[in-house]
Amino acid sequence: MCNLSELVEEIGIKKGITQERIAAVERMLKADATKEQIISFGYTEEEIERAEELHLREI
């Protein structure tokens, strides 16, 4: 059971980190940063695409 609880905790942490990264990319997009600039900060194309989807939903 310890392994299961550790796995659940790890998944939760990764999900939280991913959500924070997407939110950061979304803020950069709102500030008119280019994809190249965002990638230069270490974000991925997938994160940019997900943030763009969220950004378009808000408009």
**pLDDT reading at 57 higher than 80:** no
What confidence tens digit (pLDDT) does each residue in 14-32 have? 788 889 999 999 999 999 9
Cα angle, residue 44 at apex, residues 40 and 48 outer, rounded to 5°: 100
CA distance 45 to 32: 16
CA distance 54 to 59: 9
Task: State pTM to two decimals.
Answer: 0.75
**pLDDT reading at 33 higher than 70:** yes
* % of the chain surpassing 90 pLDDT: 58
Name the average pLDDT for the chain.
87
